[in-house]
Chains A and B, each alone.
Chain A
């Protein structure tokens, strides 16, 4: 009896606590999959791509052949205010814990990313490894593109970024990288540039290149070769294809299956000098043989040399663009100097940005073709 009274008392005490935490039904949540940020008159214009199931029947389902999304726009002095305003427009609680992509308009990027990144960094719903990209123009254009592939347009864009990254085409940026650069104070950051292309049913989103930032300010763009150069330098190439032109064999396509890059900092005459070694391993993907029928195996050394030249050219281009033209450290050279040349770093860290264009480097690239495909 005593136990029953105790359990009843505990139950009675717990009842008032039930109202402390508000459960929200999923159909009362606007599940945001993508956020676009542009400048507005009074602050920011936020474009939200929200999941909206378009399946039919009494059993509501997700029909992948339809665009299960709804786009919502709202403005405010801050991102938080704009998102609150968005809630008023549709009545559901905005939920961006599942947000996949943040697209920043070009104007916002030029202004600087600190103000907008703080919202995503401080907010518990947001994840630090959410993809971030810059729109070529306005973010709203990218967010409203009606891509017919996939459940939601934003998910198609995210797949595009993931696949492109795997094929060594783009530098993927995340919130984490932007915050890292801002916290470090010396590093730069980057993100892919997205642009809407096509009309009507052919509408799609493409990757134009890579936006380069000094700390959090947009300072330049990298085209595809420079982007890949940065990938080589950052040791981020998992797999990529490149084409070399052999005088006798013609265009030969090589699949790089492994790449290892190491950067060793040195101080030469008081100036940081970096020895960059890159070793790659490739397979022959495709070779178009000319009527002269030159033997492929006899030309392997040539092909390797040509491959080395292509890679070196891309790396040179990336280094020139990032260090000299844009004056941004995208390769975490500051961290390397801090670790391996600490004395120099401590003495010069205040003038780091100033000294960056003076850095020198030496590229040591070697390529090896190890497999030749199934064609004899």
Chain B
């Protein structure tokens, strides 16, 4: 309605034939000095969207438009920081230029206050929670960061729970995440490089690194990959992840994901680059080594002997979860001589009454387990608990009593399922590999399993994450760098030399990590 009134005013005041302007083309259109024309352009471009709010006020006799999107700014802060100073302003020589000068040099409307010259920059700022100030007679807009949009408060991350260690997790707003990281690395070398991606969503991305630790080659590689992203919408870090992954043909990703700011800080201190994505609490870490899937922050809070024990158990769990069902099927079908006789008798007795071969039993039960796991994940919590109970009954008791599966298979499934949660970051490849090994083991015994293991190993060893071997420092081996792989050495040993990812054995990246 305001827009229509303005248009009619224009028509009246102009006198001359007023030609309705067509909407400005592209985001690079420069702002003009005519406030009314600017407003028309903005309105037209935004298609008169209902959440766009503007207010014209007179400041020292000059027409000023305040622009914002509903719900994006803090009304109280806006009143206190922006409106009150503006409305109470008294200038000796009030002109548009003098008003602009005052805003530039004497006013502190918000901690983040900038000037923008194009419509594109103005839109982006408004949509990021800034307030825009347009002055009639000046072709510049002043934006003030008085964000007040609703977001989830900093809480314990659900996906990475630690016994000791911080309870803070990353949140959706990128700037809050930046502050969480900044608080943990109080170094002048910590750099946050903001960029945006997504032609429609214009999502903020932030590259975080330590200037004196990062490899310039890795950093440049990350930048170029992000620049090559050609997506309309970026709603999650998962959209960005494939573009950062250097080896898409592998089951294992060389981009790490974390929800913890302390983990982000630790990775940055090793010369890695972390990418934050606005709107998602998951940060991406590159390059990411395979052995890091087995490291958690708790390892560094426990004593070395216990931490080493837990670390070894994680590796064992990983192999259990991918190999146990397949090996069980393979041995029972092709190599029963490997079982101790007591176990063999029990398995043979169980197979007397079950209708399916072990391979199909394993496949059926694992598929049922995956269905229930996925169902439990998506359902609301109260119902999710019920699914867990039903699942336990269905698989654990009813299926065995009904003679559909044998009791030993239930134990195998249970152990496999529990083991898979020990290393949650590898859940995806582990699930696929598990099914693959079951099929291969059922078809060709230990020979097939070994062959597939060869393929998986060589595939894993072929991954070079940004020039750093994903299997380093296990292979290529450097004994000193193994201090935090299979075991966790004491702090005396760990602290002897800072790990820099580009200096790992087999790295093809230059190890010059100076200030850039």
Known contacts A62-B345, A98-B336, A98-B344: A27-B351 contact under CB 8 Å = yes
Residue among A18, A21, A31, A61 making CB contact with B344, cutoff 8 Å: A31
Chain B residues 340-360 with CB under 8 Å of chain A are 341-342, 344-353, 357-359
B157 within 8 A of A: no
Asked if B341 and A100 sit within 8 Å, CB to CB, the answer is yes
- Determine the distance from Cα of A372 to Cα of B477 in the docked complex, in whole angstroms: 57
Q: Given A31-B348, A58-B401, 15 more contacts at CB 8 Å?
A: A18-B443, A21-B444, A23-B333, A23-B359, A24-B334, A26-B347, A29-B336, A59-B401, A60-B350, A60-B353, A61-B349, A62-B349, A98-B336, A98-B344, A151-B345
Asked if A31 and B336 sit within 8 Å, CB to CB, the answer is yes
- Determine the distance from Cα of A125 to Cα of B335 in the docked complex, in whole angstroms: 10
B442 within 8 A of A: yes
Known contacts A21-B445, A53-B348: A95-B336 contact under CB 8 Å = yes
- Determine the distance from Cα of A21 to Cα of B345 in the docked complex, in whole angstroms: 24
- Residues of A close to B336: CB separation below 8 A: 26, 29, 31, 95, 97-98
Residues of B within 8 A of A (CB): 249, 332-337, 339, 341-342, 344-353, 357-359, 400-403, 407, 442-445, 447-448
Q: How far is the CB of A67 from chain B (nearest CB, A)?
A: 13
- Residues of B close to A33: CB separation below 8 A: 341
- Determine the distance from Cα of A53 to Cα of B400 in the docked complex, in whole angstroms: 17
Known contacts A21-B443, A58-B401: A53-B352 contact under CB 8 Å = yes
Known contacts A58-B401, A62-B346: A26-B443 contact under CB 8 Å = no
Q: Which of A20, A24, A33, A60 is most buried by chain B, counting CB atoms within 10 A of its CB?
A: A60
A-B contact count (CB 8 A): 85
- Residues of B close to A60: CB separation below 8 A: 349-350, 352-353
- Determine the distance from Cα of A224 to Cα of B447 in the docked complex, in whole angstroms: 48
- Residues of B close to A5: CB separation below 8 A: none
- Residues of B close to A24: CB separation below 8 A: 333-334
- Determine the distance from Cα of A177 to Cα of B447 in the docked complex, in whole angstroms: 31
Q: How far is the CB of A19 from chain B (nearest CB, A)?
A: 9
Question: Which residue of B is nearest A155, CB measured?
Answer: B341
Contact with B along A1-24 (1 / 0, CB 8 A): 001000000000000001011011
Chain A residues 142-159 with CB under 8 Å of chain B are 151, 155
Asked if B334 and A21 sit within 8 Å, CB to CB, the answer is yes
Asked if A98 and B349 sit within 8 Å, CB to CB, the answer is no
- Determine the distance from Cα of A24 to Cα of B443 in the docked complex, in whole angstroms: 10
- Determine the distance from Cα of A255 to Cα of B443 in the docked complex, in whole angstroms: 55
Known contacts A3-B249, A98-B341, A151-B342: A25-B351 contact under CB 8 Å = yes
Known contacts A23-B333, A23-B334, A98-B337: A59-B345 contact under CB 8 Å = no
Asked if B443 and A25 sit within 8 Å, CB to CB, the answer is no
- Residues of B close to A59: CB separation below 8 A: 350, 353, 400-401, 403, 407
A68 within 8 A of B: yes
- Determine the distance from Cα of A93 to Cα of B408 in the docked complex, in whole angstroms: 23
- Residues of A close to B448: CB separation below 8 A: 21
Q: How far is the CB of A32 from chain B (nearest CB, A)?
A: 11
- Residues of B close to A58: CB separation below 8 A: 353, 401-403
Q: How far is the CB of A288 from chain B (nearest CB, A)?
A: 41
- Residues of B close to A120: CB separation below 8 A: none
- Determine the distance from Cα of A29 to Cα of B347 in the docked complex, in whole angstroms: 12
Residue among A26, A61, A127, A151 making CB contact with B351, cutoff 8 Å: A26
- Determine the distance from Cα of A100 to Cα of B337 in the docked complex, in whole angstroms: 11
- Residues of B close to A274: CB separation below 8 A: none
Across the A-B interface, the 9 shortest Cβ-Cβ residue pairs: A97-B337, A53-B349, A23-B333, A26-B348, A27-B351, A60-B349, A26-B351, A60-B352, A62-B345
- Residues of B close to A100: CB separation below 8 A: 341
- Residues of A close to B358: CB separation below 8 A: 25-26
Asked if B348 and A29 sit within 8 Å, CB to CB, the answer is yes
Q: How far is the CB of A8 from chain B (nearest CB, A)?
A: 15
A51 within 8 A of B: yes
Question: Which residue of B is nearest A125, CB measured?
Answer: B337
A220 within 8 A of B: no
Question: Which residue of A is nearest B357, CB measured?
Answer: A25
Q: Which of A26, A55, A95 is most buried by chain B, counting CB atoms within 10 A of its CB?
A: A26
Chain A residues 261-315 with CB under 8 Å of chain B are none
Q: How far is the CB of A354 from chain B (nearest CB, A)?
A: 43
- Determine the distance from Cα of A26 to Cα of B357 in the docked complex, in whole angstroms: 9
Q: How far is the CB of A113 from chain B (nearest CB, A)?
A: 23
Give 18 pairs: A residue, B residue, CB < 8 Å, sorted on A: A21-B444, A24-B334, A25-B358, A26-B347, A26-B348, A29-B336, A55-B349, A58-B353, A59-B353, A59-B403, A60-B349, A61-B350, A95-B336, A97-B335, A125-B337, A127-B337, A151-B342, A155-B341
Q: How far is the CB of B112 from chain A (nearest CB, A)?
A: 45
- Determine the distance from Cα of A20 to Cα of B442 in the docked complex, in whole angstroms: 12
Q: Which of B333, B349, B353, B442 is most buried by chain A, counting CB atoms within 10 A of its CB?
A: B349
- Residues of A close to B443: CB separation below 8 A: 18, 21, 23
Asked if B341 and A26 sit within 8 Å, CB to CB, the answer is no
Q: How far is the CB of B35 from chain A (nearest CB, A)?
A: 53
Q: How far is the CB of B452 from chain A (nearest CB, A)?
A: 11
Question: Which residue of B is nearest A61, CB measured?
Answer: B349
- Residues of A close to B350: CB separation below 8 A: 59-61
- Determine the distance from Cα of A48 to Cα of B486 in the docked complex, in whole angstroms: 49
Contact with B along A63-82 (1 / 0, CB 8 A): 00000100000000000000
- Determine the distance from Cα of A58 to Cα of B402 in the docked complex, in whole angstroms: 7
- Determine the distance from Cα of A34 to Cα of B249 in the docked complex, in whole angstroms: 52
- Determine the distance from Cα of A162 to Cα of B352 in the docked complex, in whole angstroms: 31
Q: How far is the CB of A128 from chain B (nearest CB, A)?
A: 13
Q: How far is the CB of A99 from chain B (nearest CB, A)?
A: 9
Question: Which residue of A is nearest B338, CB measured?
Answer: A97
- Residues of B close to A25: CB separation below 8 A: 333, 351, 357-358
- Determine the distance from Cα of A97 to Cα of B331 in the docked complex, in whole angstroms: 12
Q: How far is the CB of A77 from chain B (nearest CB, A)?
A: 27
- Residues of A close to B353: CB separation below 8 A: 58-60
- Determine the distance from Cα of A31 to Cα of B353 in the docked complex, in whole angstroms: 17
- Residues of A close to B442: CB separation below 8 A: 23
Residue among A68, A95, A125 making CB contact with B345, cutoff 8 Å: A68
Question: Which residue of B is nearest A151, CB measured?
Answer: B345
Asked if B337 and A26 sit within 8 Å, CB to CB, the answer is no
Q: How far is the CB of B75 from chain A (nearest CB, A)?
A: 52
Asked if B348 and A51 sit within 8 Å, CB to CB, the answer is yes
- Residues of A close to B359: CB separation below 8 A: 23
Q: How far is the CB of B317 from chain A (nearest CB, A)?
A: 27
Question: Which residue of B is nearest A54, CB measured?
Answer: B349
Q: How far is the CB of B443 from chain A (nearest CB, A)?
A: 5
